[in-house]
Amino acid sequence: MKKITAFAICLFITASCYSHEVYVTKSKGGLFGYKYVEQTSMNNGQVFLTCTDPGWTKCRYSSGAKITYKDISIDISLETLNIIDETVIRNITESKLNGKFIFDNTFFVIYKYNLETDKLEYSIYLIEEANDKGLI
């Protein structure tokens, strides 16, 4: 019985602390886009958008996402995800290769671009989660 109780407590702690953000990775795209574009939504609420190698496909989300943190659950529309993506790209073209910003007083975005490897990574969090993690 003690083992079952300890397991249940560990499972609860792990589940309640788990991140539920959106992760984006864009690597080595071509002038016209990417060869591989994949959006994956995990059962735990995480969403991954991965775009790699030169090709003809634009790196865009295929659907909206839901971010859940503690007792907060917010749907992010496809339009909002694309606006955030455009904001990140605009910052990079303005030579701001690393940064963070708050979008719509709801989401916190942190990004980094490595010019040498042509790799962009960014994550979208709820502001509450970013505060709790000390990102803001």
Mean pLDDT in order along the chain per 10 residues (136 residues): 36 41 88 90 80 92 86 90 95 96 96 94 93 92
Cα R_g (the chain), whole angstroms: 17
What is the pLDDT, as a whole number, of residue 6?
A: 36
Residue listed under structure tokens 């790209």 = 89
* Strand stretches in the chain, DSSP E: 22-27, 34-41, 47-54, 65-69, 72-76, 98-103, 107-114, 119-126
- Token pair recorded at residue 86: 């455009």
What is the pLDDT, as a whole number, of residue 68?
A: 85
What is the pLDDT, as a whole number, of residue 45?
A: 67
pTM summary value:
0.79
Exposed, middle or buried: residue 132 (CB in 10 Å: 0-12, 13-18, 19+)?
A: middle
